Structure 1
């Protein structure tokens, strides 16, 4: 017997209407996917397509399920239908098809679809994934892809090349390439900024300011352009405009990591050390870069230059812990402690992560008179010579004795006489002493001494250690597919030359990935490959400053050609995308 519901009871019944539409079946499909019920998910996505046949997203969802089920041909059939009949602007379908073809081992078809995606997609949503797939296809097909351009990175490859030229000191070539970029892509702000820098380095200040003004016209708040303009105004001596711009910059609190670093270094260059210190302190809290010894040195320099001696000491102590192979933090820490003991201020500290005399090496070769004057007037620079001769490794000591040849100084003569007894400094010290007391300087002989010290067979290690070999192996593995066998062999020989130059004072390489990145960077430079510190750092997941520092160290020991070792100019100089 069926019991009837009274009218009163009927009023209390909650009736939830069910609307059968595309959204209903989409939600059911998603729930099925969460339970890995692909058949049910496919069925519900098909129902969603029936309700909204002109919606390309529903079709792509169905193609995605088919791909997960291993039905690659059916998936590509749907994707082709979307491109031909529904929405040709859904360029990501080409990327999905490329993956399907790759899974089917139809590598030629996969390459065609991937190239089409890269040439037509404006947003670059799957750019990183595409680069990985392209590497796979190049390996499988044993040839590079016939890629003409990447639409979402239009101008970027050329800009990276221009940055490499700029950082190598090839300013006219950089200008030519950057001018072409801004002509073709007028709103490419990074190119405008780097073109301004190229003109600035060439002494064409009017053109440099013109480029910055154009960047600021396009984006009045562009931090890179504003910081570069401040540096330009300082060099030009325009104190009125500079003061107004600095007030604005000091009131700015950048958010992005690169902008914070740009602001910090710019403030350091402008002599606003307390402001620089505040920004460097912010960077130390960033997990991505906070463990870098170079950054702690920058922070220590800003603190010391601001009179914050306790904070400076703390930062140099941390830098020494993070980078025990480097003499830089230990030197500045010792000088700070000595200054405090004597009740005096430490002279202004450079932000460069080098010993003071190392910064001057290029300058003294070009102008020995100014170098001699600088050593006499700069107590920190003078102290770095004495300190390096006492505590530095053999390569650093050789650099000092080479430099001191050009100084007419009684105190330096005494220092060099003490160095004559040290090996392998004896020949270089004797030649330097000869120069100081009026003898004939044999430059080629000293240079030979420097080079011989870096030859693996010249008093080299009696046995090859496992941790040294691991660096070669890891570098070769990462270099694989981008470099040929000869270039990988060159990296191995360069590392062996470096170890030979250090022996017997070979340190423990705690940051192996950083040394690998530096090794690849220098090998690429030696073979004419366009590469930046940032690219090398990203490959090995280390900081840019670590790659820069280690590359300079390898260069110093091995005596590489200057072009291969041109220091990469970091912000606040060149700008990334």
Structure 2
């Protein structure tokens, strides 16, 4: 027995499981040898294994900057400061350098100045002072004027996140500021078009895309958005024409490949989506939660189930709130904002009353209703007005209030428009905007079905969707005269 045990022990295989620290050290060694491509490869792997480690992320950002990938570097540096470690103030100095290289001198000045304020005796203090002097010389504006400018690139990233969460009015506000400052910052124009589209203002959205394509012909993001808009509006022939054009494009830039991959997924072209996203996965492209989300989906719907499930683990590491949204979990069912507590809380903290009211309606139909209503985050929310507090009481106990009418009308929409995605959210936001105006004017909501029908009709018309007043009247049991009267009132309230 002893001999057999020794034989087994001698033949035992010790498995080697590399850690983030292992690849980090390899990356640092490669960096010191000036082998930047290997450094990037090892540090990317280290960050995949330990996505919450700020030092790994920071070192990767430094390497990316030295390779000239300034935008990817900036994305990581902002992620560190916003999500991982706000105390890692050196990131502001690195951002300043990157923005200077990109030609965004106002942003560079902002971060260099901020770094010196936060760590006046830091390791990069002298370098930051030299950069400030150079920036003041390069710019026609004074240093003080530069310092007062907002970091527009950060605003754009923030706006994109708000857009993805259905936080539309605030996203529009930020994106409008960005395009006002940088008229040729096409990415911001494209996202602004998406925001207006989600809000139901289709003509305005398409006018923005047309302007982008006129001034920047062949803009891939604008073409992709055109295709997506057409599909959502049921213009399938036109969407197919654009899709055929997109299939012929072979972009070299990683950002363009990413956009193409997501657009193909949205169009149900999962083979093409998987091709581009898997190509990026094999490269050193910076992977975020959105990337892994669509990679998992495209993998699943092309039969790569095992790979999809492995990738989904990364989705949950980066975005735990996505649990339950797996492509194999009720694959034909979309889970809307009402199932996302994080998104509801974000809307509850909006600066816009209609968005807060919308969030409370989402709460009323959410499977996480009790979690939201009993949370400290709700109790500590300083933005809630008397109107919203009445709404909370209505949801909790059915206590009668002015908001009962708003709830009943929103419930009429919910019979046909659920789950609530980004497009559907526009209908509810429109209704709560109308409701706020009606409350301000002291108007009674006696004929709830008429108000619901009128709002739905106006929403369809703003989205350039073919629908007649007679059709809506029939759906809500209204006369032609009644629907016409209320449509006129809704249109006037929205002007």
Assess same fold via TM > 0.5: no
Q: State the structure with more CA Rg.
A: 1
**TM bracket (short chain):** 0.3 to 0.5
